[in-house]
Structure 1
């Protein structure tokens, strides 16, 4: 059987890079995309040593039309996408009013619009071939009450979880699997980029954190098993349940305390 190919967005670091290593180890070829070409090239060299054929395509998914342009580049190279990992994302922790409208628009395009558009562009081919995998990297934040500071992040991730569930139902019987991956705190560059590294490190103990490698493995195994959602780590699964058992006002107060510890309110 010919090798499968997976497109991974936000592949230059963190969970995206870890997903590339997992897929390469499992015998998949890779299409890696992100904004940072040098980091992608280094990851491509690493995964080629595992035996993967790797294509690097730089793209900024915050730009309108980026998903269509990316798929056009893939098609022009004669590549077939059998798997899609919608991983690109970031959070804006300066507060809703202190964040520029174009930054809000960019975050929505990267984490909400791009996954929807890429899925819509690539799914017809997957359905036609009777094989496909879509792994949407959401967050435990999408299962928790909303918080201030990074006001849109949780709602966007909640959308991604629900959209994954609905799409999975539509794809039943087609050979296409759809899964939402909902990690908690993960050791990546994510918190360095949004400037919250010192705050989250001091606010939360080491036992609450997982490695990107463990999260990536959990995601890969879940989408192969066609599970609708996976929350890596029993502690994160417990944390996602507790707010649902509390009155809404109490849960929101707890989350507000979380935001204050991170200096977001």
Structure 2
């Protein structure tokens, strides 16, 4: 792993993004941290800055101008980025028509458009030096059958997985590894933000991994050049079942379980 170039991590203020920042810091990788909440980024930078160089650039990726502005800020600071982690994301609870179009538009901007644009901006330099890493934090939800509620979440994560797979085929011959990380249920504040903590906590503990475990799995995978990685044995089994069981059976299983924790109203 090169330690003279930076890892840029979006959504680094909490959850899996913060854990990935800690994992890279543990490995001696300089960091550029970005998210909306600058105070959290500053606190994390103060901590991790004791072991590696850390730069904070606050940005709201729901703003269509943010990816280019972020790229220009990195260029102005004369920082070289050979690792991009597209982690920023969240969920929109309820059925599709229960939220405004502005809400959905911002969601698509953050989870799909910003990830695609940041990749487009930072990838050329990686390919030019024939070394780079792009870790896209997708979800097990992008691999299993759909359920009611959180209408765009699984669809966006499925898109991110396919985007990563195509990009990996294009870029690996040029020295750039691209990996889609597909976590299942992960201990973080994701479910608190979505108002799902009470219902989601009823699920078996065996389904859960910590953010730290997921981060290590993801970083190990992109360094090894794996195109896709699913965190945890149970999640791998779920993905296998979703792929090989008849659609009617998979739909019934996913839909039935999702009703326990997803608000579809």
What are the residue-to-residue correspondences of 1:204-243 with 2, within 5 Å? 204-243=203-242
Query: Residues of 2 paired with 1:43 and 1:262: CA distance?
Result: 31
Query: Residues of 1 paired with 2:3 and 2:81: CA distance?
Result: 13
Q: Match of 2:40?
A: 39
Query: Residues of 1 paired with 2:63 and 2:149: CA distance?
Result: 24
Name stretches of at least 5 consecutive residues in structure 1 with no aligned partner.
none
Query: Residues of 1 paired with 2:99 and 2:13: CA distance?
Result: 25
1:74, distance to aligned residue in structure 2 (A)? 0.8
Query: Residues of 2 paired with 1:118 and 1:136: CA distance?
Result: 11
Q: Match of 2:7?
A: 6
Q: Match of 1:101?
A: 101
1:4, distance to aligned residue in structure 2 (A)? 2.2
1:250, distance to aligned residue in structure 2 (A)? 2.2
Verify the 8 A CA contact 1:30 1:54 in the aligned structure 2: yes
Query: Residues of 2 paired with 1:66 and 1:236: CA distance?
Result: 34
- Count, aligned residues: 263
Q: Match of 1:78?
A: 78
What are the residue-to-residue correspondences of 1:13-162 with 2, within 5 Å? 13-49=14-50, 51-162=51-162
Q: Match of 2:255?
A: 256
Q: Runs ≥4 in structure 1, deviation > 4 angstroms?
A: none
Verify the 8 A CA contact 1:145 1:255 in the aligned structure 2: yes
State the TM-score, normalized to the length of structure 1: 0.97
1:252, distance to aligned residue in structure 2 (A)? 1.4
1:210, distance to aligned residue in structure 2 (A)? 0.2
Verify the 8 A CA contact 1:165 1:228 in the aligned structure 2: yes
Query: Residues of 1 paired with 2:133 and 2:87: CA distance?
Result: 14
Query: Residues of 1 paired with 2:258 and 2:231: CA distance?
Result: 23
Q: Match of 1:177?
A: 177
1:95, distance to aligned residue in structure 2 (A)? 1.5
Name stretches of at least 5 consecutive residues in structure 2 with no aligned partner.
none
Q: Deviations over 1:167-196 (max 9, x none)?
A: 000012211110000000000010001111
SS of equivalent residue, structure 2 residue 31? strand
